[in-house]
Structure 1
């Protein structure tokens, strides 16, 4: 019997689509292993909830590849569940081949041991990437139009359709503050302005038992995301367009700009010594890209 790693994934955009939920995928894969693939037994199920297939920055995917020596075959419901990027798929297949691991899709028939089978897989992956990029183009167009038209009020603030980040939640579709998380956000901004590095910030938060919303440890990447997202200063951002929201913001625009200035000043690369600052004027706001040595008053 071969040990099977079952991989399931759903992106934020797909979460509401019938048949794409993680539970639906898991149910179908388990049924496949029980009724069709009688030569495999489940080693583990790796679930990535709310992650795009266009890159490999997915915790469950990375854990699965770290465990590659423990299983014999990777099983997915469809190929687009594992990757929507042709190059990443080819790199994964190279890794599997080097380790003599098999790959199987529960709903697509192909044989990875033959040249024709590998050609079909590459062709299907190319089509999947094309579809993903076209969907991305349509999404960007719709989101940009939505960002331009969005008008929030003090009575209610809506998002641009994305899941609210750490520090915020939704109540009946409206953006709301999560006080205990915003306390952590304020601490992150405050300690960063005390000249602590991202590594020092992460160590302190993890040492105090604080975790991200996903229950993972703090690191440089998720801290950098919080420090550069204008939502924490009262603005939603899409493709350079700012939309005011009226949920409680944990930091002021001034504090946000101070953090951007400090982050830019720490860059050793001259090209990185620039920052997107929020400039408010006549009831409107915009992002202004400024050189660290040429900051004006905002």
Structure 2
């Protein structure tokens, strides 16, 4: 690295400081060469011409607005404070400090009180010379002003690009590749078919469940890992990675702005920066093709908003609401909650959103209405909205691909094992080598055979499910026979969740003293495999 270099051209003790600016990064992109190397050559020539003894080079390889984000600058200032240098060589004074006023003052004071010169190709600054000091401070001030202007222009340009539907990120989201727009500046996104199929499956699993069973981020990541599908990083899928995909509106054809705004705080006297998630971000229609439909995005987004964890008190007190997690408000989408009364009045089902227009009803009345509806399904032998049942065709495609890939791997293992026998017969392998390598290959073949069998079994199950008739009726019969005998609200809740995904509750008029049952329920059934 540069720090280990020294150049003995004369007397004294001097150091060189190198740092890239944003203009340098743009110039490098245009092919002008590596900035630090060019600047080092300039300052070496200057040191040779002035006959200066350079004992160390400080090269900043990271970009940072403040001194706290530039480790080499911090080290240089510590060394300058000790007075070990007669001067520091830099291509321009702006390279030393482009941060806020406190950073500029810190640099100016450090060089002034240590009597250290600042040497540039155009001028040598003596911080203890009144005119040089003013000139130096003015240069830092103008540098800071230029920096703010450039930053403001870049931010405005990025915002304008996002409003035009262009993708401004450097790394495309999983399922897409960056694509340069023709005949204009900027980038858009292009679908990668194989990855897009995985994205659709992730959204489908979260929306409709696996085999009729609701799943979360962990179950989805485990399933993708089991199917040997590579994650965006090329490693294993994680629940956080799944959550990131489900939260990203780019898959529905949008470009987001202000999703992670920088927040600055003073902690223990130091400026800290963070980029927390911002729920109040802006969406613009993107130029890219969406991977999922708007309907799917809305359904998944609503489920994520409703997703609640059980309170810690539920571990101590027994569950008292048989409809917990099932009924949601038709107006705001929040999960309805049970409200008990100390007066002895019957508990009600209320919407927890402050100011929501939905009117509460007696919990027992809503429960009975729900059971009556399930009995009607049982009597009629049919289910509502049969055309809206979840489609598992994408999952079947993924399983077929996994079976095909596993079969090819198994065939390749057979070929390699046969090749080892041939090498033994030709005398290329001795017996020890043959037994060692054939044992490894036989173990791999056994693992592949077992995995192929599991995948084929699962594919057959999914295929039968895709073609089978809905089998909710037996479960409905169980509820009809068993539910009235249960005393545990938790067991009742589990039984209902076997056939119901969620229920939308609507009530706009208070009918406590007239028609307390003037509410409506829209029930969404859960389909289980045959």
What's the counterpart of residue 92 of structure 1? Answer: 107
1:4 and 1:72 in contact (8 A); partners too: yes
From the CA coordinates, give the structure whose radius of gyration is larger: 2
| Aligned counterparts of 1:141 and 1:25: Cα–Cα separation in 2 | 31
Tell me what 1:106 maps to.
121
Higher share of residues assigned strand? 1
Q: 1:55 to 1:181 in 2, by over 3 A?
A: farther
Residue 79 of structure 1 corresponds to 93
1:102 CA displacement: 2.4
Report the CA distance shift for 1:71/1:278 in structure 2 as closer, same or farther (over 3 A): same
SS in structure 1 at match of 2:73? helix
- Counterpart of 1:201 in structure 2 is none
Q: Distance in 1 between matches of 2:34 and 2:96?
A: 13
**Which is helix-richer, 1 or 2?**
2
Task: Tell me how far apart the structure 2 counterparts of residues 15 and 83 of structure 1 sit (CA, whole Å).
Answer: 18
| Alpha-carbon distance, 1:27 to partner | 0.7
Normalised by the size of structure 2, how large is the TM-score?
A: 0.32
Structure 2 unpaired stretches of 5+ = 1-10, 187-229, 261-273, 282-291, 309-530
* Pair 1:7 & 2:17 matched: yes
Residues 10 and 20, structure 1, Cα contact 8 Å, conserved in 2: no
Name the structure 2 match of 1:259. Answer: none
- Residue 276 in structure 1 maps to residue 278 in structure 2: yes
Report the equivalent of 1:29.
43
* 1:204-235 deviation digits (Å, cap 9, x = unpaired): xxxxxxxxxxxxxxxxxxxxxxx9xx79x868
Q: CA RMSD in A?
A: 4.5
- Name the counterpart of 2:139: 124
Pairwise mapping of residues 244-255 of structure 1 onto structure 2 (< 5 A)? none
Indicate yes or no: 2:178 matched with 1:157: yes
Q: Identify unmatched segments of 5+ residues in structure 1.
A: 162-178, 194-226, 243-271, 289-294
The alpha carbon displacement at 1:281 in A equals 9.2
Relative distance call for 1:65 and 1:180 in structure 2 (3 A) is: farther
Deviations along 1:249-287, one digit per CA (max 9) or x if unpaired, are xxxxxxxxxxxxxxxxxxxxxxx9x853599993779xx
Q: 1:83 to 1:156 in 2, by over 3 A?
A: same
Is contact 1:12-1:52 (8 Å) kept? no
Q: Does the CA-based 8 Å contact 1:11-1:49 persist in structure 2? A: no
What TM-score results when the alignment is normalised by the length of structure 1?
0.53
Q: CA deviation at 1:81?
A: 1.3
Indicate if the aligned counterparts of 1:55 and 1:83 stay in contact, CA closer than 8 A.
yes
Equivalent of 2:60 in 42, 45, 48? 48
Instruction: Work out the CA distance in 2 between the residues paired with 1:117 and 1:126.
Output: 14
8 Å CA contact retained: 1:19, 1:25: no
Ranked by relative contact order (alpha carbons within 8 Å, sequence separation 6 or more), the top structure is: 1
For the Cα contact (< 8 Å) 2:14–2:85, is it kept in 1? yes
